[in-house]
Amino acid sequence: MSKVMYKSDASYVSCRAGIYYYTRRVPYDVRQHYASNRLSFSLRTKSNAGALRAAQSVTQRLEDYWLGLRLQDMDIPAIHLVKANHVDDSSPLMLDAVENYLRIKGNDDRIFVRTAQRNGNYVAKLLGNRPITSYATSEAAQFRDWCLDKGMNINSVKRVFASVRSIINLNIREYGLDGTNAFSGTYMPDRFDAPKRKPIPDEILKVIQSKCQITDDEPRWLLALISDTGLRLSEAVGLAVSDIKLDAPTPHIIVQPQPWRSLKTKSSHRKVPLVGASLWAAKKVIHNSNTPFAFPRYNDGELANANSASAALNKWLKSLVSEGCVVHSFRHSMRDRLRAVECPKEIIDQIGGWSSSDVGESYGGGFPLDNLNKWCNRIAFFELDQS
């Protein structure tokens, strides 16, 4: 069955400077929900036919949304049969809760903001932009199934739920709302469909480090730096030149927040010794530096683009590694290599910036840099010319 075509769709379309816009007055009976009596926004197309198709879709979604608002204002049939666990009148709508969450968190990292907004939009798209305490646990289960049907693996679904739970929990606590978080405790099936990152074998790692020195360009310096430090790609891409300390008694890098790149966890803020291939790469970065950024190809001072770096490096690695090995595999390899020399777990966690569940490990200032350097040197097998 074809979709209903509203006769007035075309009348909502106008063209300004070659770009088509959707303009429409808000119906009187739902106007109280809007800050303006008139809607006007770009359809992001220069095609008349494309604009008409987009207008049809926009009109349908608006009509559906307005119907929902009208139904909310109706007296609910058989209201006397509804259980007492009502929705708190002060409970914000889902999308408003997302904005509250971002404002309270004060985290302007683009990925953090984009992730929270995307996941909030997922909920609003499937279940409606409703008060956050109005969602039922059965709807949370429906949302889980919808995420899986979209092709997300189970780990991705868990991350989406963690984000949505955080958004709702913070709003409930911050505003003292009555009600519960329907997205807490949702069952997650064991699907075993998440891709498993394989560590890179030592013999392949040696080949990669050798080829990095032979190619000797910025992307290969980035890869070599990661190979003997275990840095996350985003951490390495976001380094400033000033974060590299070659003149210190123990050459090292400082992984710390920057305006263009935040860190994943508190334990991510650390110092990491430079040995082997990572030391060679750091020297190359400093010698060729003409900007404040260690890797200006992927960092313009506003955003450290780890996604772009990941795509380029994974493409280069594809012919050198087995299936399942990617840039992040260097991080898995680092942990295995440290285990192989019987490095204590606390030191492994400190080198890699891994969070520990042991409360006692959060006390004190951690292991001194020369101690970390001793263990890192035990796993370095980079023997090419490091001049």
- DSSP one-letter string for 89-147: TTPPBHHHHHHHHHHHHT---HHHHHHHHHHHHHHHHHH-S-BTTS--HHHHHHHHHHH
Is the predicted pLDDT of residue 48 greater than 80, yes or no?
yes
Q: pLDDT at position 6, please?
A: 46
CA–CA distance from 201 to each of 185, 251, 383 (Å)? 39, 26, 17
Is the predicted pLDDT of residue 150 greater than 50, yes or no?
yes
User: What would the mean pLDDT of 240-264 be, rounded to a whole number?
Assistant: 93
Q: For 58-64, which contacts have Cβ atoms below 8 Å and span 24 or more sequence positions?
A: 58/12, 58/22, 59/6, 59/8, 59/9, 59/12, 60/3, 60/4, 60/6, 62/24, 63/6
User: What would the mean pLDDT of 5-26 be, rounded to a whole number?
Assistant: 82
Is the predicted pLDDT of residue 146 greater than 80, yes or no?
yes
| Dist CA 122 CA 59 (whole Å) | 20
Gyration radius (Cα) of the chain, Å: 26
Q: pLDDT at position 118, please?
A: 95
At residue 298 the predicted structure's pLDDT band, cuts being 50, 70 and 90, is very high
pTM of the predicted protein model: 0.62
Q: pLDDT at position 5, please?
A: 42
Q: pLDDT at position 110, please?
A: 78
Q: For 12-19, which contacts have Cβ atoms below 8 Å and span 24 or more sequence positions?
A: 12/55, 12/58, 12/59, 13/43, 13/51, 13/52, 13/55, 15/48, 15/51, 18/46, 19/43, 19/44, 19/45, 19/46
Is the predicted pLDDT of residue 67 greater than 90, yes or no?
no
Is 360 or 100 the better-scoring residue by pLDDT? 100
Which range has the worst mean pLDDT, 57-71, 267-281, 293-307? Answer: 57-71
The whole-chain average pLDDT of the chain stands at 87
User: What would the mean pLDDT of 208-221 be, rounded to a whole number?
Assistant: 95
User: What would the mean pLDDT of 172-183 be, rounded to a whole number?
Assistant: 91
Q: pLDDT at position 66, please?
A: 87
Query: To the nearest whole percent, how much of the chain has pLDDT over 90?
Result: 60
Tokens of 39: 């809607």
At residue 112 the predicted structure's pLDDT band, cuts being 50, 70 and 90, is confident
User: 340, 260, 344, 264: which is closest to 303 by C-alpha?
Assistant: 260
Which range has the worst mean pLDDT, 184-193, 231-240, 293-302, 312-321? Answer: 184-193
At residue 264 the predicted structure's pLDDT band, cuts being 50, 70 and 90, is confident
| Dist CA 250 CA 240 (whole Å) | 18
At residue 378 the predicted structure's pLDDT band, cuts being 50, 70 and 90, is very high
Q: pLDDT at position 249, please?
A: 95
